[in-house]
Amino acid sequence: MPITVNIPTILRPLTNNHKRIEISGFNVLEVIEQMEQQYPGVKEKLITEGKAHRFINIYVNDDDIRFGNGLSTSLRDGDSLTILPAVAGG
């Protein structure tokens, strides 16, 4: 089940500078685990204490996983997963 993962600039050094990658998985956590297998170091940038890092936003299609089932959010063939670092201003 291929899922398109959109990689933010800050993580591209870990993914050989790919903007998008295709990964298989039935939920967000499985996709992140598969990413870790191919691109070591990615998981620690995305997950803290079993949840998405508080300064990283993860969207499945246009839906923020924090308002759904978090890392257990189900994925379907052709879904798009977008990783965005949180932006803070002052």
pLDDT one digit per residue (tens) for the chain, 90 residues:
689 999 999 999 999 999 999 999 999 999 999 999 999 999 999 999 889 998 999 999 999 999 999 999 999 999 999 999 987 665
**Helix count and strand count (H, E) for the chain:** 2, 7
- Is 2-85 a domain of CATH 3.10.20.30? yes
- Kindly report, residue by residue over 78-88, the tens digit of the pLDDT: 999 999 998 76
Look at residue 86 in the predicted model and tell me its pLDDT: 82
- Amino acid, single-letter form, for residue 64: D
